[in-house]
């Protein structure tokens, strides 16, 4: 059982590392896009003398800030803290519908789905 728990934790850590690495890689591309878009929209706003052209920068900046916080900031620590809070104070939200799955429930489903199972 201890080996299984260690293996599950290793898999979770690797998946989290992959998620962070993916976010950091995405941020490079999105940061470039955001910079070019901001420069282009600013130039367009100056050329047309219309500040409304800059409006798309607002949602793009929120996306950029979120991705940066996920890749290099404290977002994961805040998420972890909130998850711990939910586990400690709101555990009823985590209950499965119809309660936890039991071996008997699994056997019932397996029997109902099996075409070759014969009841004795």
Listing DSSP states for 38-102 in one string gives HHHHHHHHHHHT-GGGGTTHHHHHHHHHHHHHHHHSSHHHHHHHHHHHHHHH-GGGGPPTTSS--
Q: Would you say the pTM of this structure is higher than 0.75?
A: no
Residue 109: CB atoms within 10 Å:
11
Domain span at residue 34?
1-119
Q: Report the pLDDT value the prediction gives residue 98, as an integer from 0 to 100.
A: 86
Number of domains in the chain: 1
Distance separating alpha carbons of residues 36 and 76, to the nearest angstrom = 28
pLDDT at residue 118 tops 80: no
Distance separating alpha carbons of residues 85 and 77, to the nearest angstrom = 12
Q: Report the pLDDT value the prediction gives residue 120, as an integer from 0 to 100.
A: 55
Is 46 within 8 Å of 80 (Cβ atoms)? no
Per residue in 27-80, pLDDT (tens digit) is 999 999 999 999 999 999 999 999 999 999 999 999 999 999 999 999 999 999
């Amino acid at each position: 059982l201890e080996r299984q728990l260690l293996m599950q934790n290793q898999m979770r850590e690797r998946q989290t590392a992959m998620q962070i690495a993916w976010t950091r890689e995405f941020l490079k591309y999105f940061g470039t896009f955001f910079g070019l878009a901001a420069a282009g929209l600013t130039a367009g706003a100056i050329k047309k003398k219309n500040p409304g052209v800059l409006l798309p920068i607002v949602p793009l900046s929120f996306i950029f800030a979120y991705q940066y916080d996920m890749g290099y900031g404290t977002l994961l620590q805040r998420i972890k803290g909130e998850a711990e809070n939910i586990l400690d104070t709101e555990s009823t939200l985590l209950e499965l519908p119809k309660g936890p799955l039991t071996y008997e429930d699994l056997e019932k489903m397996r029997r109902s789905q099996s075409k070759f199972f014969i009841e004795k």
